[in-house]
Amino acid sequence: MKKNPLLGRDVISMRDFGREEIKTVLARCDEFERNPRPVLKGKVLANLFFEPSTRTRLSFDAAMKRLGGQTIGFADSISTSISKGESLWDTIRVAEGYCDVIVIRHPAEGSARLAAEATSLPVINGGDGSNQHPTQTLLDLYTLQKRTGRIAGLTVAFVGDLKYGRTVHSLIRSLSLFGAKLWLVSPPSLRLPDDFKEDLAEAETSHVEVEDLSAVPADVDVLYVTRIQKERFADPVEYERVRADYQVTPATVQRFGGKLTLMHPLPRVNELHAALDSHPGAAWFDQARNGVVVRQTLLALVLGAA
Ligand code: NCD
């Protein structure tokens, strides 16, 4: 029997995943990529998206269909009974009657955990507010492992919106389990919240907070650039104040040398120059593509079919 740390489980937060479990999941992704099989024939995935999404929703859709399964769902809550006042709890209780596994994206922190409490079906968090985005982290780690051959002991600089960026919150937790050294580059108003700093303290992860990318040493392994999360700002004036800073361009990355891996979860707005697409370390389209095999593997694992 192959190891399946996800059997019947929910995928809600990277805080629920230990180092060995992450390694096993990545190994299963690799194995699935080499030997893809339609193992979910007759199964139905419900994609419940209460917030905008391109990659997460489409890649879960593609993943389920490539596995031989089918998908139902919605891409915004306006066309659903939520707009009539239905609670999230009731929506999940109803959806569980129509499917075998649920993916949810929702603007409220903790919503995916609540959904998981409402049903005995496996629930996968496709992003809950500014809290967590665990499947993005697994595809980020998978991409890193494929490109650099390792995920242990990397020096990673996170750049941009570390306050609201859920991809950052999930990934720093996991990297801290693998002995990463971190540089946290953001304006003071968008620093990593204390709650997530606790993850770093717990793992004794070395991290330095700076305001300027020029303070980051040239030998870092990875730059992980993020979008300023406009939709989470209470004050539009505050957004305008910070959005022009933290733009990464070919000139900015020149001093980092040829071995740099450049990552971004996408969508990018103006923080990442399009000319960087031809940088040998540019990984964003790979990240997006790897999302399908990683999500195929996750769906197959939680449903006990891999
Ligand atoms: C991210 C998200 O939704 O958190 N997108 C994604 O899933 N790749 C990043 C973002 O919106 O900035």
- Please give the model's pTM, rounded to 2 decimal places: 0.97
Those residues whose C-beta lies under 8 Å from the C-beta of residue 39, and which sit 6 or more positions away, are 67, 68, 300, 305, 306
Q: Which CATH class is domain 134-284?
A: alpha beta
Please give the DSSP secondary-structure letter assigned to residue 191. Answer: P
Ligand 1 centroid to Cα of residue 126, in Å, is: 9
14-132+288-302 fold: Rossmann fold (3.40.50)
Domains 14-132+288-302 and 134-284 share a fold: yes
Q: How many Å is the maximal CA-CA distance in the chain?
A: 56
For every one of its 306 residues, what pLDDT tens digit does the chain have, with 9 covering 90 and above? 688 999 999 999 999 999 999 999 999 999 999 999 999 999 999 999 999 999 999 999 999 999 999 999 999 888 778 778 889 999 999 999 999 999 999 999 999 999 999 999 999 999 999 999 999 999 999 999 999 999 999 999 999 999 999 999 999 999 999 999 999 999 999 999 999 999 999 999 999 999 999 999 999 999 999 999 999 998 888 888 888 778 999 999 999 988 999 999 999 998 999 999 999 999 999 999 999 999 999 999 999 998
**Atom number in ligand 1 closest to CA 287:** 8
Alpha-helical runs (H) found in 15-71: 19-34, 55-66
> What's the rounded Cα separation, in Å, for the pair 62 and 121?
21
Those residues whose C-beta lies under 8 Å from the C-beta of residue 8, and which sit 6 or more positions away, are 122, 302, 304
Q: Where are the domains of the chain?
A: 14-132+288-302, 134-284
264 lines ligand 1 (CB under 6 A): no
> What's the rounded Cα separation, in Å, for the pair 145 and 98?
36
227 lines ligand 1 (CB under 6 A): yes
Please give the DSSP secondary-structure letter assigned to residue 96. Answer: T
